[in-house]
Amino acid sequence: MPKKPLKVTTSIYSIFIADDFNNFTVSELRNVYMETTGEIDPVLSRKIVYRQILRLQKLGMLEKTDSESVKEHRYNKTNVFLQVGLTTEKINSKKTRRLLAKSPEKITSSLLDERLKQCKVNLIASIAESEEYMTLCKSLPELKEYLESNYLQSSEQSSRLSGQIKAIKSVISYQKKQ
């Protein structure tokens, strides 16, 4: 059993701690991860979250409940998870640990700010991607069907990111009023 909180990415930390994610399948965690990070590749996302699940399971922090279908195996946090917890590289500094002990609201606020910045960056990239598909569609009409399909996916991703940004801003605004 690890003695110190386990270092994970900010996205994984946010899902497990801030969102209090528990009793999930790999697919459910992948979907939340994709929403959180703005990642559009489900295969890459599945690989990333599955590695994290295996790592946490190996350390006794997650427990697998088998099901008849492999896709329906569920994972739950264990007492070890609750005792040890997770951390990110940013939260590992002494200054931030003192802040966390004094004011968890500030940590939540900084996590939200970081998540907002990441969503904005992803939105800009997604919009640029959509614009590029439209440009390519005009110059490469023989690939129109393929490019339009990718354009639609990219546009949907932009819409999701816009929604995430709106939600995060709403939570930040609510926190400031508290």
Same structural domain, 61 and 108: no
Q: What is the end-to-end Cα distance of the chain in Å, rounded?
A: 38
pLDDT per residue as tens digits for the range 20-53: 778 899 999 999 888 888 778 889 889 988 998 8
The alpha carbon of 139 is separated from its chain's Cα centroid by a whole number of angstroms, namely 36
Same structural domain, 61 and 118: no
Q: How many domains does the chain have?
A: 2
- Is the CB of residue 92 less than 8 Å from the CB of residue 86? no
Q: Which domain holds residue 86?
A: 6-92
pLDDT per residue as tens digits for the range 105-153: 655 777 788 888 888 888 888 899 999 999 999 999 999 999 999 999 9
- Is the CB of residue 150 less than 8 Å from the CB of residue 133? yes
The SS3 assignment for 42 reads helix
Task: Find the helix packing angle between 26-37 and 104-139, rounded to 10°.
Answer: 80
User: Does 68 fall in a domain?
Assistant: yes
